[in-house]
């Protein structure tokens, strides 16, 4: 799968997010293009947002 291309405006707005859980999700999506609930649980230990 190719790396997704996002507009610079979107990336700039995403980088302004400071909430920890949202930051993790946004960074992962910017890097990989998507994130699953399972990845949140296993990779990031995010049980509060995935229960």
Q: What is the pLDDT of residues 1-49, one digit of tens each?
A: 677 789 999 999 999 999 988 999 999 999 999 999 898 889 888 765 5
Q: Kindly compute the dihedral angle of the four CA atoms of residues 35, 38, 43, 48, in this order, to the nearest 10 degrees.
A: 100
Residue 1 has a pLDDT of 65
**3: which DSSP letter?**
P
Question: What tokens were used for 24?
Answer: 């993790």
Q: Determine, yes or no, domain membership for 50.
A: no
Q: Determine, yes or no, domain membership for 49.
A: no
Residue 50 has a pLDDT of 52
Q: Determine, yes or no, domain membership for 1.
A: no
Q: Kindly compute the dihedral angle of the four CA atoms of residues 21, 26, 31, 37, in this order, to the nearest 10 degrees.
A: 60
Q: Determine, yes or no, domain membership for 51.
A: no
Q: Which of 20, 27, 23 is nearest to 6 (CA)?
A: 27
Q: How many domains does the chain contain in total?
A: 1
């Amino acid at each position: 799968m190719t790396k997704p291309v996002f507009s610079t405006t979107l990336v700039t707005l995403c980088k302004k997010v400071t909430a920890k859980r949202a930051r993790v999700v946004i960074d992962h999506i910017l890097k990989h293009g998507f994130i699953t609930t399972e990845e949140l649980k296993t990779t990031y230990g995010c049980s509060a947002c995935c229960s």
